[in-house]
Amino acid sequence: MNMTSYMPVRLFTGEGCVKAHPEEFQKLGKRPLIVTGRTSAKVSGALDDVLEALDGAPSVLFDRISQNPLLTDCREAAALALANECDYVIGIGGGSPLDAAKCVAVLAANPGMTQEELYSLKWPNTPLPIVAVGTSAGTGSEVTKVAVITVPGGRKKSMHHVDMFPKAAFGDPAYTLSLSPEFTASTAIDAIAHATESYFSRLANDLSQTYAVKANRLILPVLEKLLSGDVLTLDDRSLLYHGSIYGGLAINITGTCLPHAMGYLLTEDYGIPHGNACAVFLPAFIRINRTNVPDLTDRFFREIGYSDETWLQIVRTLLKDICVTIEEDAIEKAHDRWINNSSIKKGWGNIPAEMCDEILREISKPKI
């Protein structure tokens, strides 16, 4: 048995957790830069709660992080932090603002770094302290050291560094009440993808697999309810939120595998939302594992309490309206991405780039 892990975030969850712990903000500095998207931080009530927790302390707001956060926007936010002498960063939102906040914290402490220097992870100065306030149930970014940023040229690039763990993270499920059923489903399946990919990673250990199973067990019944058209209660939202944190804890140990590696392509070039884009590859991922590690696959479905068929049916129901046509030249162009891809290599068995090409052909549906 192996439980090797490291997760230094002070995590608070439950209704009202932000306002209940103002000291977690105040002790980190005098003037935070608050990094958000355009709407969710405000609509959810999270921004108001954070401002209340700051208790009148000066803060600076950067509220222009887009859904797939751009490195250029992170640079702009970091410049704003520098100009205003901000001494810590608060990210409020779903995965995009939280990942952006991590990148901004690095850039603000290391002005003038090139993209290469940023991704080298050899930074002269320690990033500014980070607080993460989640407003969606999917990313798990609250408890990870990962930031996925879209670099000039349009590719999503992830970086991992222990100094990007938030000092504190808050997960109030009430912030997710204002999210649409479609967005809720897409973020929930992102968490399912995190957990499932993590379970089948070669880096998985007893702790990460326990987290992965728990995430599936918490999220799947609520996802079924959501897909049947029911309105989710706050209790349901709480299960989704805590499930997403379990997913984050799982990938904190293992990282993600093939569905995330290939899902980035669908988001970058076809505009498919991140969670759905990864979920498109889950049936193929399960099929590969069923072939390469049948006993582990049996154990997974036994532990989560769902059969292969029911689990796959949930994924397919969620994806029923997703239609993407991938032309042969696009498959050829993407081919090199799958060669020596570290996330794909983390999965069991040999998954050559040609198999990834085939998977793309399989998921491609002609436009009607």
Q: Which is nearer to Fe ion, 88 or 199 (CB)?
A: 199
| Least Å from the CB of residue 139 to Fe ion | 6
Q: Which is nearer to Fe ion, 59 or 187 (CB)?
A: 187
Give the DSSP letter string of 5-64.
-----EEEESTTHHHH-THHHHTT-SSEEEEE-SSHHHHTSHHHHHHHHHTT---EEE--
Sorted by sequence, the CB contacts under 8 Å of residue 294 that are 6+ apart come out as none
Q: Which is nearer to Fe ion, 53 or 219 (CB)?
A: 219
| Least Å from the CB of residue 127 to Fe ion | 22
SS3 call for 265: helix
CA dihedral sign of residues 305, 309, 310, 312:
positive
Site string for Fe ion, 189-208 (x = CB under 5 A): -x------------------
Question: Phi and psi at residue 11, in whole multiples of 5°?
Answer: -105, 130
Rounded to 5°, angle at Cα 213 from 266 and 16: 85
| Least Å from the CB of residue 194 to Fe ion | 6
Q: Which is nearer to Fe ion, 281 or 311 (CB)?
A: 281
Q: Which is nearer to Fe ion, 59 or 341 (CB)?
A: 341
Q: How far apart are CA 161 and CA 144, in angstroms?
A: 9
Q: Which is nearer to Fe ion, 75 or 145 (CB)?
A: 145
Q: Which is nearer to Fe ion, 81 or 245 (CB)?
A: 245
> In terms of DSSP H, where are the helices of the chain?
17-20, 23-26, 40-43, 46-54, 71-83, 95-109, 115-120, 181-199, 206-227, 234-254, 258-270, 274-279, 282-292, 294-304, 308-318, 328-334, 342-345, 353-363
Question: How many angstroms separate the first and last alpha carbons of the chain?
Answer: 51
Q: How far apart are CA 43 and CA 252, in angstroms?
A: 29
| Least Å from the CB of residue 122 to Fe ion | 26
Residues in the chain: 368
Q: How far apart are CA 146 and CA 158, in angstroms?
A: 7
Rounded to 5°, angle at Cα 184 from 181 and 191: 150
| Least Å from the CB of residue 314 to Fe ion | 17
Q: Which of residues 263-322 bind Fe ion (CB under 5 A)?
A: none
Sorted by sequence, the CB contacts under 8 Å of residue 89 that are 6+ apart come out as 32, 33, 34, 35, 81, 101, 104, 105, 108, 128, 129, 130, 131
Sorted by sequence, the CB contacts under 8 Å of residue 361 that are 6+ apart come out as 326, 331
Q: Which is nearer to Fe ion, 24 or 190 (CB)?
A: 190
Q: Which is nearer to Fe ion, 29 or 97 (CB)?
A: 97
Q: Which is nearer to Fe ion, 109 or 272 (CB)?
A: 272
CB 218 within 8 A of CB 235: no
| Least Å from the CB of residue 310 to Fe ion | 23
* Residue whose CB is nearest to Fe ion in the complex, by number: 190
Q: Are strands 60-62 and 88-93 parallel, antiparallel or unpaired?
A: unpaired
| Least Å from the CB of residue 228 to Fe ion | 24
Site string for Fe ion, 172-191 (x = CB under 5 A): ------------------x-
| Least Å from the CB of residue 198 to Fe ion | 11
| Least Å from the CB of residue 200 to Fe ion | 15
| Least Å from the CB of residue 102 to Fe ion | 15
Beta bridge partners of 32: 88
Contact residues for Fe ion, defined by CB under 5 A: 190
